[in-house]
Structure 1
Amino acid sequence: MAQLAGERASFTSGVLLVDVANRTSFDVVEVSRGVELAGLLRLAFGDPETAAGTYRILAAEDGVSGPFSSLEYNLDPAQYRVDALYGARHVDVWVSAIPEVRATWLMAIGLAALLLTRLPRKRPGCA
């Protein structure tokens, strides 16, 4: 964890690199005053299998102004969605796994089969 003290911190140019080893071990920047954002946020994930989750990477007692200009990460964009979420006094990174197309089709087929078994059936000899 990095702690910055002073009047105001600025990440308006350059790169803020955040290492994410796993869900419980990742870089955090705490600022005792406010922080200005506009530079690049680069996320380096150690293990893609445990990447999904929400990470509070920055906290500022006097508030956060502006978003990062861009976001880079080392996860496969076909498998993961990564977003920066901005609060009044913090920045979180949200990572979610994108379901595979095969899994979605299998789930749809299973749901259809389940619904078909619930349909009322005509009994022989009933008019």
Structure 2
Amino acid sequence: MTTERRQTPRLRSLLGARARYNQKRTTLDCVVRNISDGGALIVVPDTVLLPADFELEITQRQRCYHAHVRWRTGTRIGVSFEAEDLAEGVAASETDVAMRLRMAERDNARMKSRIEQLTEAG
């Protein structure tokens, strides 16, 4: 029986993700099998050499974490997230939501304008 050493429990998941490193010039697609506020278990397609520190982008969560490799076993890699990600996560996601809202409002205004043009021409 193994002893749970994590501070927060992990939730099982099946999320597509991308590991970015080498100043974001190199990416590697992976799968997040479980995740918590403090870390995750990722699975990479092959036993690749991933650096000890990298960015983990999870598109479905619209988040990017600074990850640190804690352990590896074949294609499975356990990572922890830097504490600053946890504090900045709320502010970053709020900023992202505000930016996406502005873009949606701009697109909506363009569509309304185009609809007016089409109804006047017809």
Query: Do Structure 1 and Structure 2 share a fold, with TM-score over 0.5?
Result: no
**Higher RCO (C-alpha 8 Å, min separation 6):** 1
Higher helix share: 2
Structure number with greater Rg is 1
Higher strand share: 1
> Scaled by the length of structure 1, what TM-score is found?
0.31
